[in-house]
C-alpha cells in the first residue's frame, strides 16, 4: 500500500471515530421532523414511505455502516417499478444522507455518485374544452367546482391553492401572490399570477361568503391534499374521461392553452414559476390538427402564382 492511501485511511479512521452514532430508524424520525419544515404533507409522506421501505431492507444498522451497495440494491428494486420511482427515491435519499453528513452522523453521502436515469419524453395530459365541460358537469359541490376552475385559469399547483389565504389575493391589482410565506413554492421563488376576468369573479364571490382565512375550503373546513386527489379521480371516472387524468393536469391544461393562444415561452415560464425553461418546453407540443394546418401552408395554392402554370 502506498503512502497516500495509508494517510487517507488514517484520516478516515480519525474522522470516523468522531462521528455521532445513531441507528437508521431513529435518524428517520429526526429527519422527518426536519423535512416537514420544508415540504408539503404529501411530499413528507412520500419521503417517509421511501425511508421505511429502505429500513425494511437494512434491518436498522447504525447509519454510518450503510454502504453504497445497499443503497444501489434498493434503487435497482425501485427501477423494476419504473424509472420515475427510481429517480424520485434517489432524490429523497440524497437529501436524507446529506442531512446526515451535516449532523456528523456519516462522513460521506452514499448516494453522492449515483445519478438520475434519463426519462423518456412524455407529453403532458391536458383537458380539451369538451372534456373540461364534462368534468365540471359531474362536480356537484360549489367549493370543489371553483377550486377546479381556478386551477385551470391560473395554473397554480394543487398545494399552492389549498394552502392559499386571502392575504395572497390582491384584488386591487388583480393578482395572486405566491410569496413563500404560507406555502413554499416548488421553485422556492416568489411569483405573481394575474387573474383573468373569470378568475377574478370566482374569487370575489368566494371572498363574500368566506368563513375562514383559507381561500379554498370544503364544507367550511381546510382541504386535505390526499382528499382532493381522490375526489378528483372519482369525478374524472364519473365523467367518462381518461382515468389517467390528475388534478395536476389542470396546470398542464393552463400551459397548453397559453401555447395554443400564442403566448411566448418566456411568459408561460413566468406564469408557471419554472426555474428552468426546459421544464416549460414540454408545453411546446402541437396537436395533429395544428400540424396539418402548418403543412397545408406549403401547398402551391397558398401562393399567388402565374395564371396557367402547370403543376
* 263, 134: one domain: yes
d(CA 305, CA 170): 56
The yes-or-no verdict on residue 27 having pLDDT over 50 is yes
> Does the pLDDT at position 13 exceed 50?
no
238 lies in a domain? Answer: yes
Are 154 and 278 in the same domain? yes
Cell output for 255: 400551459
Residue 75 lies in a domain: yes
What CATH number corresponds to the domain at position 167? 1.10.443.10
Give the pLDDT confidence score for residue 265 in this predicted structure: 85
Do 167 and 279 fall into the same domain? yes
Is 161 within a domain? yes
End-of-domain residue from the set 102, 137, 152: 102
Write out the chain in H/E/C secondary structure. CCHHHHHHHHHHHHHHHCCCCCEHHHHHHHHHHHHCCCCCHHHHHHHHHHHHHHHHHHCCCEHHHCCHHHHHHHHHHHHCCCHHHHHHHHHHHHHHHHHHHHCCCCCCCCCCCCCCCCCCCCCCCCCCHHHHHHHHHHCCCHHHHHHHHHHHHHCCCHHHHHCCEHHHEECCCCEEEECCCCCCCCCCCCEEEECCHHHHHHHHHHHHCCCCCECCEECCEECCHHHHHHHHHHHHHHCCCCCCCCCCHHHHHHHHHHHHCCCCHHHHHHHHCCCCHHHHHHHCCCCHHHHHHHHHCCCHHHCCCCCCCCC
Report in angstroms the alpha-carbon separations of 229 from 3, 83, 89, 309. Answer: 60, 23, 21, 61
- pLDDT bin (cut points 50, 70, 90) of residue 291 is low
User: What is the tens place of the pLDDT at every residue in 64-103?
Assistant: 899 999 999 999 999 888 898 999 999 999 999 999 999 9
Question: Which pLDDT belongs to residue 299?
Answer: 65
Residue with cell 479512521: 13
Q: Is residue 126 predicted with pLDDT exceeding 60?
A: yes
- Which residues are bridge partners to 214 per DSSP? 165
Residue 79 and residue 197 in one domain: no
pLDDT tens per residue across span 242-263: 999 999 999 999 998 888 888 8
What pLDDT, on a 0 to 100 scale, did the predictor assign at position 72? 93
Asked, for residue 154, whether it belongs to a domain, the answer is yes
What integer best gives the mean pLDDT of the chain?
85
pLDDT tens digit string along 30-48? 999 999 888 878 889 999 9
Strands 217-218 and 175-178: unpaired
Q: Do 176 and 164 form a contact (C-beta atoms < 8 A)?
A: yes
**pLDDT tens digit string along 195-242?**
999 999 999 999 999 989 999 999 989 998 889 999 999 999 999 999
pLDDT of residue 41: 82
Residue 89 sits in the same domain as residue 139: no
Average the pLDDT over each of 64-78, 138-152, 282-296 and give the range with the smallest value.
282-296
For residue 120, being part of any structural domain is answered with no
**92 CB-side CA count, 13 A:** 28
Predicted pLDDT of residue 3: 47
Nearest of 10, 18, 16, 81 to residue 50 by alpha carbon: 81
Residue 124 has pLDDT above 90, yes or no: no
Q: What is the rounded distance in angstroms from the CA atom of residue 52 to the CA atom of residue 61? A: 13
Average of pLDDT values for 21-29?
Answer: 93
Q: pLDDT value at position 74?
A: 93
Domain span at residue 64 reads 10-102
Same domain as 215, residue 84: no
In a domain, 251, yes or no: yes
Q: Residue 310: inside a domain, yes or no?
A: no
pLDDT value at 111 more than 50: yes
Amino acid at each position: 500500500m502506498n503512502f497516500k492511501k495509508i494517510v487517507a485511511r488514517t484520516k478516515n479512521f480519525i474522522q470516523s471515530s468522531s462521528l455521532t452514532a445513531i441507528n437508521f430508524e431513529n435518524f428517520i424520525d429526526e429527519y422527518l421532523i426536519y423535512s416537514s419544515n420544508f415540504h408539503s404533507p404529501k411530499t413528507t409522506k412520500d419521503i417517509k414511505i421511501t425511508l421505511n421501505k429502505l429500513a425494511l431492507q437494512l434491518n436498522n444498522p447504525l447509519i454510518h455502516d450503510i454502504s453504497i451497495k445497499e443503497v444501489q440494491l434498493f434503487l435497482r428494486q425501485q427501477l423494476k417499478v419504473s424509472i420515475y420511482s427510481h429517480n424520485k427515491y434517489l432524490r429523497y435519499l440524497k437529501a436524507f444522507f446529506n442531512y446526515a453528513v451535516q449532523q456528523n452522523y456519516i462522513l460521506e453521502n452514499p448516494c453522492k455518485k449515483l445519478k438520475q436515469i434519463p426519462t423518456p419524453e412524455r407529453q403532458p395530459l391536458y383537458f380539451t374544452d369538451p372534456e373540461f365541460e364534462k368534468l365540471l358537469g359531474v362536480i356537484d359541490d360549489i367549493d370543489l367546482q371553483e377550486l377546479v376552475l381556478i386551477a385551470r385559469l391560473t395554473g397554480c399547483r394543487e398545494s399552492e391553492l389549498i394552502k392559499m389565504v386571502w392575504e395572497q389575493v390582491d384584488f386591487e391589482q388583480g393578482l395572486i401572490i405566491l410569496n413563500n410565506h404560507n406555502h413554499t413554492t416548488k421553485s422556492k421563488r416568489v411569483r405573481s399570477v394575474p387573474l383573468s376576468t373569470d378568475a377574478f369573479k370566482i374569487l370575489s364571490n368566494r371572498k363574500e361568503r368566506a368563513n375562514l382565512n383559507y381561500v379554498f375550503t370544503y364544507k367550511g373546513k381546510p382541504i386535505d391534499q390526499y382528499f382532493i386527489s381522490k375526489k378528483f379521480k372519482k369525478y374524472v371516472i364519473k365523467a367518462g374521461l381518461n382515468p389517467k387524468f390528475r388534478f395536476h393536469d389542470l396546470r398542464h391544461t393552463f400551459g397548453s392553452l397559453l401555447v395554443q393562444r400564442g403566448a411566448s415561452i418566456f411568459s408561460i415560464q413566468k406564469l408557471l414559476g419554472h426555474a428552468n425553461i426546459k421544464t416549460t418546453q414540454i408545453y411546446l407540443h402541437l396537436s395533429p390538427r395544428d400540424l396539418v394546418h402548418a403543412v397545408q401552408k406549403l401547398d402551391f395554392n397558398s401562393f399567388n402564382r402565374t395564371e396557367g402554370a402547370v403543376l
